Structure 1
Amino acid sequence: MNLLHLDSSILGPLSASRQLSASAVAALTAQAPAAKVVYRDLAASPIPHLSGAQVAAWRNTSSITEQPNASAETDDVALGSEVLEEFLAADTVVIGVAFYNFTIASNLKAWVDRIAVAGKTFRYTEDGPEGLCGDKRVILMIARGGIYSQGAPSAAMEHAETYLRGVFAFMGITSPDVIVAEGLAISPEQREASLAAAETQIAKLV
């Protein structure tokens, strides 16, 4: 198994999503000791936001016209290719999803922008778009300070899980595993109970 592990929280060791994603990877690799794990900390080493150079490279056109910027643009495109190939090579992707201002962290959005590539992870056909990554498993470990689950008063403000489900479905991954710990900022007791419930779900991952 090739496993890609991503974290997006800016809180370091205080992060609940990091705790949960690490637990998920530990549970999976305990069952598959020979698994190859590639790890990216998107907060410690952020991927630059999508650039014109990257889009030009996908379209096989040139945007590297100003010599002083040529090296930076080349490096940007090379990093984008590396990130995409990591995703394509992975059988399983575990993502620690931090929830900021009702959605995902911008560093995770920058990663998504580098893997949503026509002809690689999806394609356009006469019958509409077709995902090309249906053989991959994606596991989302989501930590939320408030309560945003279905039926909650704030459910309409949840734009992290819904966004990621939509993006991955577009790539053909229609049934990601999603484990959510929420209400973490309400009280210490709520945080402890929510994390414990999430860990129980993680223990059932196979």
Structure 2
Amino acid sequence: MAPTKAPDSSRRSDRSRRAIHDAALALVTEVGYRRTTIEGIAARAGVGKQTIYRWWPSKAAVLMDAFLDLAGRAAENAGAGSGSGGTGEPAPGIPDTGDLAADLKLVLRATVDEMNDPALEAPTRALTAEGIVDAKLGAEFVHKLLDPQLALYVTRLRAAQEAGDVRADVDPRIALELLIGPLMHRWLLRTLPLTHAYADEIVDYAVGGLAPRA
């Protein structure tokens, strides 16, 4: 008889983790963060609660890990087509072609696409809203997801300063908020469409204000 192949426990664990991630994201989208429970995630994923608690200490930890995994998958898919990262940033950083406005437009257009992607939009809105009232969750969201991405803008703007394209007295950390802030405002309020044309206008206005004065 041919020898029986032993089951691959690591592959089984990966499948279980992905099922838990998908279940958590689906539930938080459908019923919101507060009504999402470990019991509900376990039932939807087809695993026992003890499996979840073996890997994560809380519901917040499950959802954060699930969202980071989702962002990572989005980055891989975007990278295959356009070289962009988890929220629009090209990996491993924002490109530096020597044309600051063109580089930033590329990034913000990709960011707009991801903000309009239903698979990312619903869980992002749920976690963003809960992060406002849950300081610990909000801080973790910023530390694990936003700060690494914002650092890419700081790096690109500092390079532009060294090239003489941005005034030396500009604080890159504040300057990047001129780019990200308007997108988030329109996305959160849903007052007007979030489009590539809008992203381009933001860059034109911001870069015009950051450029050295005659």
Q: Same fold (TM over 0.5)?
A: no
Higher helix content, 1 or 2: 2
Higher strand content, 1 or 2: 1
Q: What is the TM-score normalised by the length of structure 2?
A: 0.27
Q: What is the TM-score normalised by the length of structure 1?
A: 0.28
Larger relative contact order, structure 1 or 2 (CA cutoff 8 Å, min sep 6): 1
